Structure 1
């Protein structure tokens, strides 16, 4: 999946190829020009939930804009939606599972351990809306700028991860919230990387 900066670079390329101004693009996606300009000036993260509108405006598929592979639509995979996470237990242990949800996944994740978390609050808005179901690939670390599920004091949170020396910084997308610093005195465990989110589950 492309980063926010890569998505904007791709949108710029498409705009130039199709001779579409920022004003015209803003009109097509139903936004103010000033709001769209902030994306292209890299002063605001590009929110994933806006991708379908921008893709349609520039006549491409949403998966193409986000840099996703085609999804296998033949058979859904049942992904565990986690409730309370028991300290010390495996992340997908039965006592942690609230229910299973059907999810059509890209073939590249066929052999990976996946789980889902229910997003609550607005600390990751506008990147991830409140109420979304985040699909997580279990892995012990992530690259800088990627969104990860992190276990802190028995609770999982979704944040962008930044590595600063031996310190890990968990950064919200919403500037109204402060960074969370993980170190030897305030430990946390990266559970996995968010690969997508959905809004259509109960």
Structure 2
């Protein structure tokens, strides 16, 4: 990964977190004790904050420092080869209400995100996965597969309803765990639930 890629990743995360906090660039600048032009350069991907500033940003936005550098919604211009993938309905992160066969459209996607296998997108709905920083409207890149490791986040179909949950197995029981304490886990036998894919990447809606 090049320095340009790192700047692009940080700038996308920085803007997303600022918008989530409902802060203007000047508000962030005042809170961090820097100029508005510095904040603008960070958000445009022109500069990276130094270690001390990065720590202050993580405290301000209440996220671990490493989350500022995790690839979530990097500008596509930094990638060379793109592929169109279907956006398949809207997956429910709350009560689960949308079947996944309905195609809404197609999303241009960097091929290097895929590393083999078949992929598609679902769109997050609800607030049951906010602890995993998955929010209403986010695009969820899903790798098609019928099994996942314990603790991985997966798209699971129960009847005609699609859910995005963290998946655990306890003997023959499948446990679908939310990332929000307001939502209890869902217990179901494997015969009643079909894992349709593993969450590969989150493309943030800003």
With normalisation by structure 1, the TM-score equals 0.60
1:99 Cα deviation (Å)? 0.8
**Residue equivalent to 2:192:** 187
Unaligned runs of 5+ in 1: 1-19, 40-45, 56-61, 67-71, 86-90
**Residue equivalent to 2:120:** 115
**Residue equivalent to 2:59:** 30
**In the aligned structure 2, how far is the partner of 1:179 from the partner of 1:200?**
26
**Residue equivalent to 1:12:** none
Unaligned runs of 5+ in 2: 1-50, 73-77, 92-98
**In the aligned structure 1, how far is the partner of 2:125 from the partner of 2:179?**
14
1:29 Cα deviation (Å)? 1.6
Q: Residue 142 of structure 1 aligns to a residue in which SS? A: coil
Aligned residues: 144
With normalisation by structure 2, the TM-score equals 0.59
Alignment check: 8 A CA contact 1:84 1:155 kept: no
The reply to whether residue 140 of structure 1 matches residue 146 of structure 2 is yes
Q: How does 1:55-66 map to 2 (within 5 A)?
A: 55=69, 62-63=70-71
1:84 Cα deviation (Å)? 7.5
More helix by share: 2
CA RMSD of aligned residues (A): 3.3
